[in-house]
A and B are shown apart, each in its own frame.
Chain A
Amino acid sequence: MAFLTTAPIAWDRVADLNRRVSQGHCGAVVTFIGVVRADQDKRHVIRALCYEAYPQMAEALIHQLIHEATTQWALRGAQVQHRLGLVEVGHISVVVAVAAQHRAAAYAASQFLIERIKRDAPIWKREQYDDGASRWNVGAAQLVDVADPVGVDHADV
């Protein structure tokens, strides 16, 4: 199963992921859901985020992270789904679902996975504003102007 998806992640789909990871002998399922937030600065309000990735590398890296987490916390199941393309405010951008025997391991593994995905996975988001402008979000709160702020259909993955 691929970890990156261009299709919307419906809230019902999260339940499917929970069921999928929780098969087997687990006592705890922890699910982290990342949702696009209507951040704003002095000039703009975010209307959507447009995600792109280096797909082959991002898939391999997330696979490796799940392997590390599964080994370290003896997970019974783990799943990651990360959106590519345009995700509007209020919609899901990422889901991390893990199942373990006890809650401490599940919480720790969940946090490990989302933090490492945010730190290392070659995925980028461009902020799309309500006035039509857009800028790359380059991590540490630094924003870069896009040379040609185009419309909302820019979903090159």
Chain B
Amino acid sequence: MEVRVRFFATLRDAAGRDECRLVLDPGAQGADVKTMLAECYPRLAGLIEAARLAVNYEYQPWEAPLSDGDELGLIPPVSGG
């Protein structure tokens, strides 16, 4: 299955791009994406630890199961207001 991953703010700067697509094994969780991204983009590793996961525009735990076509957002600490 394939998911879309979007990067924002510090994570986008560190990744050097604002999104990527990942091919995952069936049954993959958010945590698997975290591991893959840290390998693909070493500069993201530390930042991902402080980030929250969103799946299809809602916060989810890193253990959340993923489905084909999901849109994941990596949300670094927010600073709106």
Asked if A54 contacts B73 (CB within 8 A), the reply is yes
> Which residues in B have their C-beta under 8 angstroms from that of A58?
80
A51-B11 Cα distance, complex, nearest whole Å: 15
Measured in the bound complex, the distance between the Cα atoms of B78 and A61 in whole Å is 13
Q: How many A-B residue pairs have CB under 8 A?
A: 76
In the complex, how many angstroms separate the beta carbon of B10 from the nearest chain A beta carbon? 5
The answer to whether A93 and B54 have CB atoms under 8 Å apart is no
Interface of chain A: mostly helix, strand, loop or mixed: mixed
| Known contacts A54-B54, A54-B73, A57-B54: A119-B10 contact under CB 8 Å | no
| B-binding residues in A (CB < 8 A) | 34, 51-54, 56-58, 60-61, 82, 93-94, 114, 117-126, 136-140, 142, 144, 146-147
Whole-angstrom CA separation of A7 from B75 in the bound complex: 24
A-side contacts of B80, CB under 8 Å: 51, 53, 58, 82, 94, 117-118, 121-125
**Which residue in chain B gives the minimum CB-CB distance to A135?**
B10
Using a Cβ–Cβ cut-off of 8 Å, how many residues does chain B contribute to the interface with A?
18
* CB proximity of A58 to chain B, nearest CB, Å: 8
For B26, list chain A residues within 8 Å (CB): none
Which are the 5 A-B pairs with shortest beta-carbon distances? A123-B80, A139-B77, A124-B9, A118-B81, A57-B57
